[in-house]
Chains A and B, each alone.
Chain A
């Protein structure tokens, strides 16, 4: 394997003005090697107030949310609402490649820091705006915390139980989805900049990012005038008006929690079911699968699931419920790995932290927190690269941690001037 010397985005500078709506974008670019400077208002970004906190101490320097999504960034404080702050920001823009922001649409323009103004100073600059709905349109000024994003993006309607309201993921997802896509859009613009020398404006919509998770909701309405609905541990399959609507379990209780499993038909069943039935037979719990005990790959592959009656589906699911009830998640997972059955534990956050595969792949990384004189275990990289690592280069910055380094060291602002700017609440 080649020596991992350089980084993917080494040499690029990113100015990250985003709040929690866009933190992930800058983190990804930073972990990929860009020099990301997080710019916070004096006193620190409000996202620092988001829990949970290190040892449950509610402190702006101890937010685990802040830590997790601000790795590989340096940090300065700057009030871009002031004329002095705007001047300093413009100086930073001259040597930057990317600006990320997540203010209300029009705010940067109102400060004279919109894309047009910045591109006049630096034609190569890329500006990425991450907002709930994009820069224009009827919802552009709507407020949209996560729950509103999940609702207007269609994700809530298909999540949760049939007899209860639409439901979001309890850990906010909408803006992480937006930040995730924003990183891709920003890099597409950067590639074009390398080809042409021209920067451009990237307008990211959180609502659209959520829509991209729906797996066919829009297409079901478009083709069949059918609204996909939430169904808890079941999944509703609507094939077409000539067929009964299928409801199938994809989550089963077991002895100590839940496991994910689908009976289905076709390829997924062909892979899993012969071994599952063999296992049931071995434990004397064949139940409804008695008629299929000699079925192999080919029989399961062509099995006509669509024509099965509700009673047949129920009988098969009941058989599995009885069987899984005799085993723990760990016991089931150990066996399915040997037997090559597509079944997985429904992981808790503890299970994820203790996941053997992640441990064996050396996924977790230890990140130094000099301010606490401790190293902390962090979520590692989403991929392994042979040439250029995806790597957390440092922990999240403290409030204004790199003010001196950047203002005095890079911009050459005198100590005295920095003191005055601090007193004026500019930095």
Chain B
């Protein structure tokens, strides 16, 4: 018996795809759960064909996008349209798993003979998490979606960007990255509860409902005060300067945020107390807010003389909040992220060595483990069928011939 881990004994049959489900189960795997990811060559995960791919050539096992959402899992391919494949799926759930995770359109798991109501009769300890755009019930529950439009539906786009321009989007599928952490939390809570009571349960996750948490005060502001929130660029109601300023270099930027009088004095010292900083109209936060456009232009006169890293260091050394607007390359080189071991290199059989990421917390006694790179599709068919399910050579051969393992 090796060293113990937080999610020891948790076995997840993972019928999910895209970002939310796979990331929740990846985190569970990094915490010690075993995960069998059920995929199909007939309907591969869209992320398997999402850039970036090895050498810029898309292919089933070449996408780093898919890979970093799916390390530390076993992959088996099952064409769930076929009864033989459904039977294998049921055996994985029945004989091996204690958590079922799906992100299928409501009704699909039932069609595959994997509905919770039937399964729980024999396996009352089973936890089934169904995670979809809008949940399992309600008039729109079966409407297909994905993270990009979900981000727009949940209200993030409308409040991202500039008031005089069209709405923007924080990251392409922002909602997926909010919801997966909620789902991971609920999954572990349900495991703790089951350990105590022996009872599993069905958990119906609506990504929309996860995401509304992240705008809650502004939605209450509408409900209570009738105010509709508008995007406001980088402005803050209670700080100025508060923006992202152009620096030396091509498309290089640094955020600076000044909230208190003390920070304002420190900020002025860093930029060498030019004459304009002594003007009365900039002396108070109110004055700076009233003259914010002009203020920002003046601040930028200073920042444009420095690379963003230098601007950040000078400001932070004086106790003023500042940060580089990091690009991909800056994140890869970022000293803090590297200090924490945020970038974990694993050697993928087709992609080669490339960057994966652990959960954003460090557990002192049960550190995360990224046990293996993302699986090539169906890489563990043999392992799952023989070792996990104990099938004979004959049974496996029959499955291969039938096409159920596609």
Contacts and interface: CB of A to CB of B under 8 A. Distances in A.
Contacts of B58: 239
Contact of A9 (B57, B170, B192, B343): B192
B262 to A, nearest CB: 12
B193 A343 contact: no
B106 interface: no
B152 A170 contact: no
A340 B140 CA distance: 10
B68 interface: yes
B231 interface: yes
A103 B181 CA distance: 23
A387 B199 contact: yes
B307 to A, nearest CB: 14
Given A159-B160, A176-B214, A192-B365, A8 B192 contact: yes
Interface in B284-340: 316, 319-332, 334-337, 339-340
B129 to A, nearest CB: 8
A115 B362 CA distance: 14
Overall SS of chain B's interface: mixed
Interface size on B, as a range, is 35 or more
Overall SS of chain A's interface: mixed
Contact of B220 (A68, A240, A266, A337): A68
B97 interface: no
A168 interface: yes
B159 interface: yes
B162 A161 contact: yes
A240 B354 CA distance: 16
Interface in B248-305: 251, 253-255, 257, 259
A346 B244 CA distance: 25
Contacts of B150: 344
The winner among B31, B67, B186, B230 for most chain A CB atoms within 10 A is B186
The winner among B179, B217, B351, B355 for most chain A CB atoms within 10 A is B217
11 contacts: A54-B224, A68-B220, A154-B328, A169-B170, A170-B229, A200-B365, A205-B340, A221-B331, A344-B150, A347-B154, A350-B228
Contact of A55 (B143, B203, B225, B237): B225
A142 B355 contact: no
A241 interface: yes
A220 B316 contact: no
Interface in A184-239: 184-185, 187-192, 194-196, 198, 200-209, 211-230, 232-233, 235, 237-239
Interface stretch (B73-81, B82-90, B130-138, B390-398): B130-138
Nearest to A352: B155
Contacts of B43: 267
Nearest to A222: B355
A350 B227 CA distance: 8
A134 interface: yes
Given A251-B157, A382-B179, A160 B218 contact: no
A266 B48 CA distance: 12
Contact of B170 (A159, A203, A272, A342): A159
